[in-house]
Amino acid sequence: MLTAVITVSGAASINTTPIAYGQITDETVQAEKVAISVSDTEGIVREYFKDIPVMVAVAKCESHFRHTLQDGSVLRGRIDSADTGVMQINKRYHEKRAIELGLNLENIYDNMAYARHLYESQGTQPWKASSSCWSNTIAYSG
């Protein structure tokens, strides 16, 4: 509850209900959506997964090395809009665990970190739907 003090003759204070949603702070936070080019994304993915080449092939098949669209929004799956980012991690199944690990699936590096986590525990199984695209590559040795 907020208390407003008004200096008008005869009035002392009025209790008011907050009308803002969220938290009121003195800080100004400005978020800006920035599109990452396909070539930049491909380079980031290749560097991050240089020790797991099949994951580079998975990213190519899943997102064509896109993490964001031209307007800066994060790539969503065409078939399932819960599929998110360069590695197309499905938020419906994985967001809770990603958050527990301190990862934001909409951040390209966190998206890849969670993909690495999945790969280390399940191999390429989470991306079996696109295996017809990446399983015939030299990077795949399954």
> Tens digits of per-residue pLDDT, 97-119?
999 999 999 999 999 999 999 99
Beta bridge partners of 76: 84
Residue 20 lies in a domain: no
As separate numbers, helices (DSSP H) first and strands (DSSP E) second, the chain gives: 5, 4
In a domain, 14, yes or no: no
5: in domain:
no
DSSP state of 129: G
> Is 119 contained in some domain?
yes
User: Cα–Cα distance between 139 and 141 in angstroms, integer?
Assistant: 6
**Count of domains observed in the chain:** 1
Structural contact between residues 137 and 131, judged by C-beta atoms closer than 8 angstroms: no
In a domain? residue 125:
yes
Sign of the CA dihedral 61, 65, 70, 72? positive
Q: What's the pLDDT tens digit per position in 17-57?
A: 444 444 444 554 444 566 788 889 999 999 999 999 999 99
Interval 80-98: pLDDT, tens: 999 999 999 999 999 999 9
Q: Which domain holds residue 124?
A: 38-134
Residue 57 lies in a domain: yes
Q: Tell me the whole-structure pTM to 2 decimals.
A: 0.73
Q: How confident is the model at residue 8 (pLDDT cuts 50, 70, 90)?
A: very low
The verdict on residue 17 lying in a domain is: no
Task: Report if residue 15 sits inside a domain.
Answer: no
pLDDT value at 12 more than 80: no
Give the HSE-up count for residue 64: Cα atoms under 13 Å, Cβ half-sphere. 8
